[in-house]
Amino acid sequence: MSTSEITLPYGKITDKKLVMNFSAYDIDLPVIASGIRERSDVLRELGVAFSGFGTEVPEKVTQQNPATVKAYFEYVGTQSDAKVILKRAYHLVWGGMIEEFPDLIDWAQAKADLSNLTYAQAEVLRARRGE
């Protein structure tokens, strides 16, 4: 690890960039996005810009590994210590995600709805293939 890197439990700060990592098994993209949106005004005041989302595909497609969802941020402010500010942004985003995380009943219903949608899509594909 170079001296220009800071490793966090679920992310890394390199120079003026922060990359946060989330397991798709544990946290869905809408929850991550809600947490970022919840704290976007504070991030903007700190001079931190959200740069987007990405996923990391496992090396072997057959592996039963969850996809890694990544959120990218960049320090665009003028203060001298970007790493301190990006570390603060890291904690702010996690706080926003906790604040915006749905109630257990809503969460369970959303998961059930997604499961039903996935099952229906599989049935459509089977019907198209004539199975």
- pLDDT 10s digits, 30-73: 888 999 999 999 999 999 999 999 887 767 655 567 778 999 99
How many CB atoms within 10 Å of residue 11? 21
**Same structural domain, 10 and 63:** yes
Domain count, the chain: 2
Asked whether residue 85 falls in the same domain as residue 129, the answer is: no
pLDDT tens per residue, range 67-114: 789 999 999 998 879 999 999 999 999 999 888 877 778 777 877 888
Q: Are residues 30 and 84 in the same domain?
A: yes
Measure the CA–CA gap between 128 and 81, rounded to whole angstroms.
Answer: 57
pLDDT above 70: residue 3: no
Contact 75, 82 (CB under 8 A): yes
What burial letters (b/e) apply to 118-131, b meaning 16+ CB within 10 Å? eeeeeeeeeeeeee
Do residue 89 and residue 77 come from a single domain?
yes
pLDDT tier for residue 6 given thresholds of 50, 70 and 90: very high
Q: Which residue range(s) make up the domain with 126? A: 103-131
* Residue that wins the pLDDT comparison between 29 and 72: 72
pTM: 0.74
71, 72, 85: which is closest to 32 by C-alpha? 71
| Spatial distance between the Cα atoms of 123 and 106, rounded to a whole number of angstroms | 26
